[in-house]
Amino acid sequence: MSKSVSLKIKDEILKETEEILKKIDIPRNSYINHAIAYYNELNRKKSLAKILNRESKLVSKESKKVLEEFEFIEKDLL
């Protein structure tokens, strides 16, 4: 399913896009859809990286405690 969207594109961006489209021979609509899909994926990955970074910081103290406990257990075994 597709929806029509009206958007304003800066003249220089549209001109460059039209030049590229002539060379690669694909419809403008398809090109813009691929560009938006790519940008969406890029931003989804950036968002996920932020979440993982934040969660990693949240568990880092607990991870250090666990490592210290393992070291203590290891010393007792020797």
Tell me which of 1-5, 40-44, 63-67 is least confident.
Answer: 63-67
8 to 5, 37, 68: CA distances (angstroms): 10, 18, 58
Quickly state the pLDDT bin for 78 (edges 50, 70, 90). Answer: low
> Is residue 35 within 8 Å of 21, Cβ to Cβ?
no
CA distance 33 to 21: 13
CA 69 to chain centre: 36
CA distance 60 to 57: 5
